[in-house]
Chains A and B, each alone.
Chain A
Amino acid sequence: MSDPGILAVTKAGTDPVRAQLDGPSGTRPRRLISRRNIFLYGTLILVSLYYLLPLYVMIVTSLKGMPEIRMGNIFAPPVEITFEPWVKAWSEACTGLNCDGLSRGFWNSVRITVPSVILSIAIASVNGYALANWRFKGADIFFTILIFGAFIPYQVMLYPIVILLREMGLYGTLWGLVLVHSVFGMPILTLLFRNYFTSLPEELFKAARVDGAGFWGIYFQIMLPMSLPIFVVAMILQVTGIWNDFLFGVVYTKPEYYPMTVQLNNIVNSVQGVKEYNVNMAATILTGLVPLVIYFVSGRLFVRGIAAGAVKG
């Protein structure tokens, strides 16, 4: 139950918050096994089971051979564990000619995701900041259109954007794709940042204005340091969305830039060919690992960022 290592790290991370929140909790003594803890951890563990059950099925399936999968018991642990599907998914599965699995598109995905995430968050955070603290006439109208944009099914916009990119001379390039990701990430992210910045104490902003700080000065010196958690949320959203994007990746680039999801799609989504469920599962988990790592690592940032904000606030 209690792994001292993890505990120590978590504790270090939350300490400033703890210091504040623990306060006079008075009547409630903290024991490891209290009714409250049983309820709390019981609920969390039950909930975790719901979230883990499909993952369990995926992992178990990915470790079975196809004959075993055809037997049809999806919960049964593999009789004979095989890592073949994993190897195949990563380095052998064929995408047409190229039989080098997911590994083929991995670096392309990185090359697409990194600039797209940075650019989209940079643009949206500045937008959100301008909308929250420097409102100018008409800003609300553009913002409303932007929110409206969040609801447009983006497949509908495919062809107009093809034409737009063609006219800009960006069609088929990596930067064209980065631009598209930034544009489609903008509505949600701008909303996220705007609403976060409006909830920050206004006195800070006013004081900085009195001190003569300008638009960028306040953004970099006051807003950024206080907003780590929301940047983490934005990063979770964007890394997940862009890493898993398939449609834009194939429609706006060409094979030399195809992201990993093209291989993933090719592995899991063949229509009339033989379907290898074990390889499908392995490929899906492998593709999901990058966002997972981001979630886990940024989770710590999450806590610390809040702490920093809380101290200043």
Chain B
Amino acid sequence: MKSLRTLLCCTALVAGGSANATDLEVTHWWTSGGEAAAVSEFAKAFDASGDKWIDGAIAGGGGTARPVMVSRIIGGDPMGAFQFNHGRQAEELIEAGLLKDMTAVAEAEGWKDIVNPPSLLDACTLDGKIYCAPVNIHSWQWLWLSNAAFEKAGVAVPTNWDEFVAAGPALREAGIQPLALGGQPWQSSGMFNVLMATVAGPEVLQTIYGEADAELAAGDEMKAVFSAAADARELAKGSNVQDWNQATNLVITDQAGGQIMGDWAQGEFAVAGEVAGEDYTCLPGLGVREIISTGGDAFYFPVNDDPEISAAQDRLAATLLSRETQVNFNLKKGSLPIRGDIDLAAANDCMKKGLEILAAGNTMPDVNLLNTEDTNNQLNDLFVQFFQDESITPEAAQERFVEIVRNKD
């Protein structure tokens, strides 16, 4: 059966060309200008072989798109492919037999050899079978700094987190908000996880989230993280904004010293005409440890009885990871490619820093790979409260943190 499928898929791949003309509906949540341009690279590549990409974009991220995807699948009228953050999110759909096993394509295309870091493919794998096609890498561990803000405050642009904290009072005195932080919960927990990965180290994060190690969560290493978080809270006090990009805008307009945010913040700087190194500085791993997490997006393929659709799903998966598509897509998306064997000459300074770290192998799994969304949601609740409410001591927050870790699944 498996060999037959492999055979079928490869015939389809070989056949290529205009012989295939299948409409394949793809659901995703990439809708802003840059994102849409990136998606169109996928569609162009897919359509080139005669197939047709039917676009089903739903903005709002997982919270909005997820019920749509799940409804379509349990309603018995699934789309051809859909975007998910890879990680533990899709486990249940796989267990329920609703997602297609893509192992045959992966083997035919040699994904095992080309996907870098290999953890990305592991995230798609359950019981030895591959269920998804990773398409990009987004990392969280970046500190974005406004050069002009530090100049105005009369201090040098920090090169790491400690210098940044030390510069806080000077910034305040100059009427500058030291650290910008938006009010949405995911920003707070994201920032905490970055502090955890850089202050305590990626191994600690991996052990606590990956193995639910409550003892480590209660230990001194985490105590240091919580004290760093308290510093961050002090610095972030007074940033009255909600959206992450409003916070980024404070940095762009030099009203704030810095922001901890994922690499997508780069897009905002680019649109505002800012130049990396001149107008702003990016510190991967907060300048403490040069490390980036390899979260990102992946596509899953619901089981479909129609052999034509099924074959088209295979073709799409192969297309998404092809060298050319990866270059074109990621340049527009501002994310890093999942293949180690391509050259992004056109990348800007910050992206290049990221690529170097990636090439050096200084990566860690994304929190999504270790936590269920349920746990992430509880962390959101805890940290949004911690960062906004000064009455919660770091010790009390750590206690609640330990509870969440202990009960996580």
Give the B-binding residues of A (Cβ under 8 A).
66-67, 70-72, 94-99, 155, 158-159, 162-163, 165-166, 171-172, 247, 250-252, 254-255, 258, 262, 265-276
Which of B71, B244, B267 has the most C-beta atoms of chain A within 10 angstroms of its own C-beta?
Answer: B71
Contacts A162-B75, A165-B75; A275 near B34 (Cβ below 8 A): no
What is the bound-complex CA distance between A97 and B28, given in angstroms? 11
* Alpha-carbon distance between A96 and B244 when the two chains are bound, in angstroms: 22
A96 contacts B249, C-beta separation under 8 Å: no
Determine, out of B51-59, B125-133, B298-306, the stretch whose residues face the partner at the interface: B51-59
B58: which A residues are within 8 A, CB to CB? 250, 262, 265-266
A70 touches B32 (CB 8 A): no
Q: CA separation between A272 and B53, bound complex, in Å?
A: 23
Smallest distance from the beta carbon of A83 to chain B beta carbons, Å? 18
Interface residues of B in 29-71 (CB under 8 A from A): 29-37, 39-40, 43, 53-61, 64, 67-68, 70-71
| Residues of chain A within 8 A of B64, CB atoms compared | 265, 269
User: A271 to B267, alpha carbons, bound, how many Å?
Assistant: 13
A70, A96, A274: which has the most chain B beta carbons within 10 Å?
Answer: A96
Q: List B residues at the A interface (Cβ < 8 Å).
A: 25, 28-37, 39-40, 43, 53-61, 64, 67-68, 70-72, 74-77, 79, 243-245, 249, 252-253, 262, 264, 267-268, 271-272
**Given A158-B67, A274-B268, A254 contacting B253 (CB threshold 8 A):** no
Instruction: State whether A270 touches B75 (Cβ < 8 A).
Output: no
CB pair A270 B77 closer than 8 Å? no
Jot down 14 A-B pairs with beta carbons below 8 A, ordered by A: A95-B36, A96-B31, A97-B53, A98-B55, A162-B74, A165-B75, A251-B71, A252-B75, A254-B56, A255-B25, A270-B60, A273-B30, A273-B264, A274-B245
**How far does the Cβ of A244 sit from chain B's closest Cβ, in whole Å?**
15
Rounded to whole Å, the gap between the CB of A118 and the closest CB of chain B is 25
Q: How far is the CA of A265 from the CA of B29 in the complex (A)?
A: 11
CB of B60 within 8 A of CB of A271, answer: yes
Q: How far is the CA of A31 from the CA of B40 in the complex (A)?
A: 66
A251–B67 Cα distance when bound, in Å, is 7
CB distance A96 to B32 under 8 Å? no
Q: In the bound complex, do residue B253 and residue A70 qualify as a contact, i.e. CB atoms below 8 Å apart?
A: yes
Residues on A with C-beta less than 8 A from B25 are 254-255
Chain B residues lying within 8 Å of A71, measured Cβ to Cβ, are 253
Residues in A whose Cβ lies below 8 Å from that of B60: 265, 269-271
Q: Collect the chain B residues with CB atoms within 8 Å of residue A276's CB.
A: 32-33
A271 touches B59 (CB 8 A): yes
Q: How far is the CA of A279 from the CA of B267 in the complex (A)?
A: 18
A272: chain B residues within 8 A (beta carbon): 32, 35, 61, 244, 262, 264
Measured between beta carbons, the chain A residues less than 8 angstroms from B249 are 70
Alpha-carbon gap, A258 to B67, bound state (A): 15
| Contact yes or no, A273 B75, CB < 8 A | no
A171 touching B31, Cβ below 8 Å? no
Tell me how far the C-beta of B34 lies from the nearest C-beta in chain A, rounded to whole angstroms: 6
How far does the Cβ of B187 sit from chain A's closest Cβ, in whole Å? 11
* Contacting pair A172 B61 (CB below 8 A): no
CB contact between B31 and one of A94, A155, A251, A255 (< 8 Å): that residue:
A94
Known contacts A96-B56, A265-B59, A271-B61; A159/B36 CB under 8 A: no
Chain B residue numbers with a CB within 8 Å of A96 are 28, 30-31, 36, 39-40, 43, 55-57
Contact B267 A273 (CB under 8 A): yes
List the A residue with the shortest CB-CB distance to B268: A274
Docked Cα-Cα span, A302 to B383, in Å, equals 51
Distance between B12 CB and nearest chain A CB, rounded to angstroms: 23
Determine whether the beta carbon of B71 is less than 8 Å from that of A162. yes
Chain B residues with CB under 8 A of A267: 31, 59
| A255–B55 touching, CB < 8 Å | yes
Closest B residue by C-beta to A176: B75
| CB atoms of A97 and B32 under 8 A apart | no
The residues of B that contact A273 with a CB separation of less than 8 Å are 30-35, 264, 267
Give the CA-CA distance A142 to B165 in the complex, in Å. 63
Chain A nearest CB, measured from B28 CB (Å): 7
Q: B57 touching A95 by the CB < 8 A rule?
A: yes
CB neighbours of A266 from chain B (8 A)? 31, 57-59
Which residues of chain B are near A159, meaning CB under 8 Å?
A: 70-71, 74
Q: Which residues of chain A have C-beta atoms less than 8 A from B68's C-beta?
A: 250-251
Q: Give the docked Cα–Cα distance between A66 and B272 (Å).
A: 9
Inter-chain CA distance A172–B31, complex, in Å, is 23
Q: Which residues of A contact B271 (CB under 8 A)?
A: 66, 274
Cα–Cα distance between A266 and B60 once the two chains are bound (Å): 7
Known: A70-B249, A269-B60. A99 touches B36 (CB 8 A): yes
CB of A270 within 8 A of CB of B35, answer: yes
A271–B36 touching, CB < 8 Å: no
A95: chain B residues within 8 A (beta carbon): 31, 36, 55, 57
Is there contact, CB below 8 Å, between A94 and B36? Answer: yes
Complex CA distance for A171 and B70, rounded to whole angstroms: 13
Q: Which residues of B contact A158 (CB under 8 A)?
A: 67, 71
- Measured between beta carbons, the chain A residues less than 8 angstroms from B262 are 272
Known: A250-B68, A274-B268. A171 touches B77 (CB 8 A): yes
- Report the bound CA distance from A96 to B60 in whole Å: 13
B33 and A94 within 8 A (CB): yes
User: For the complex, what is the distance from the CA of A272 to the CA of B38, rounded to whole Å?
Assistant: 13
Q: In whole Å, how far is A113's beta carbon from the nearest beta carbon of chain B? A: 20
Task: Tell me whether A166 and B76 are in contact (CB under 8 A).
Answer: yes
B34 touches A166 (CB 8 A): no
Please measure, in the bound complex, the distance between the C-alpha atom of A266 and the C-alpha atom of B75, giving whole angstroms: 23
Could you tell me the distance in whole angstroms from the C-beta of A98 to the nearest C-beta in chain B? 6
Instruction: Give complex CA distance A146, B36 in Å.
Output: 43
Chain B residues lying within 8 Å of A98, measured Cβ to Cβ, are 55
Quick one: given A269-B64, A272-B262, are A252 and B268 in contact (CB under 8 Å)? no
Q: How far is the CA of A171 from the CA of B74 in the complex (A)?
A: 10
Residues of B within 8 A of A163 (CB): 74-75
Q: Is there contact, CB below 8 Å, between B71 and A275? A: no
A274 contacts B74, C-beta separation under 8 Å = no
